[in-house]
Structure 1
Amino acid sequence: MSTNVENSVGRKSCRRLCDLAPLEAILFDIDGTLCDSDPIHLIAFRQVLQQMGYNGGEAIDEEFYMKYITGKHNEEIASSIFPGDPDRGIKLVEDKEALYRRLAKDKLKPIEGLHQLRKWIEDHGLKTAAVTNAPRPNADLMIEVLGLSDFFDAVIIGPECEHPKPYPHPYLKALQVLKVSKDHTFIFEDSVSGIKAGVAAGMSVVGLTTQNPAHLLMEADPVFLIKDFADPKLWAALGDFDKNVA
């Protein structure tokens, strides 16, 4: 990590989550936040694009995936890969999502520390919502596979809102549905667009370095970054809430 990134991380960490006390709710992205699903998405996009003859049948690589796919919603992906050809774009995302769901049933695993964090949230009586740009069938499947069907009070789908992430509308809708204040709620996100959406909604965001480089995530202005939900930095911050209550 460069000196500039280290200094930036240090500055952001000075903003404390415990300033949100009394905490009312925690909001979660799904893909890359609850689970490291990007490798599965890459496999699905790669197979479907090859079947469609894209790029002469040559498989897309991770660089292509990061540039044109990750952090974007399906309408945006379809138009960027097949500009001017909406029918092929629709076929791409529909076939890809169907394949992703088949693969995810067996391959999806929770981010380390997720169930430990779930217990902390339940012990503290906090409200929760999953806020995602994924299609609803994907979101429902991932939540079920991860064993979280009875955990979330709401599931907010970005494309069902006025605008999806990186616009703030999905997170603002979550606050409205949960009936909680942005001043007593924070977010877990793994993408630049997701962090931007949370910040634009006026909330504090903790970024996960599941897939994206730290320096890119920091440019979106999270409070701090963690590797996963077992990261000591996160538990030190959560411990501050308990100290304030005591």
Structure 2
Amino acid sequence: MHKRRLEGKKIIITGASSGIGERLSWHIANQGGIPLMLARSIDKLEAQQELIHRELDVMGFIYQVDLQQKQGLEYVFHQLVEEHGQIDGLINNAGIGIFDYVKNMNLPDIEQMFQLNVYALMHGTVKLLPHFMTQKEAHIVNVASQAGKMATPKSAVYASTKHAVLGFTNALRLELVDYPIYVTAVNLGPVQTNFFTNADPSGKYQQNVARYMLDADTVARKVAAHLFTKKREINLPWWMEIGSKLYHLFPTGLERLLKKQFNKK
């Protein structure tokens, strides 16, 4: 069933050279879709393209772009529509996190997180939306975070970017209710990827949460399984989503109860 649903659909994946984006590209191709892979590293993109072709006999397309550069982003999204004629989906997966206390944060790091996590996501969506509104079916997937629902110390800026992504996604879904465009938010706990190279260079946080970390392939398989279905949110792990819901009901109590856990970064 999944194979038929994705057959021939062209889906953009940002941050496709590693981690969740890399595995998403593979699973989309495995289900008959055509991944349009965007990232900064052309070497990694070429290796991913070759792997998909060798293992799945699917020709994915690769585009080198720094999504933090407005002109490059504008150009690549124009190029995608020009070259492919029809784009069926957009997965805004690219993102970065830098964990530190607010008192220690510097402006360039703050700007970088907002530029990639928020502005690039919104910009790409705005560029493609008129195109999607002419289609019989389209899907926008925004990778947010459980941090967007429950912020913790040392993640004030990162959590703010994911709050913004959730707000944007939820409002966009309501705006598109009369169009055949699915809009899904993906809210994840920590995932074992190179995200932590920047977010946690000391490795302390990864050590503290190692037993809770999600596998990138498991996440990608779950997201791919819900493409072009009416799925409002994908929340992983399930117990963290329950924690988020409880936190909204009893914030003060949970902050006291989970103080030690909240300070694992």
TM-score greater than 0.5 by the shorter chain: no
* TM-score, with structure 1 as normaliser: 0.41
Q: Structure with the greater relative contact order (CA < 8 A, sep ≥ 6): 1 or 2?
A: 1
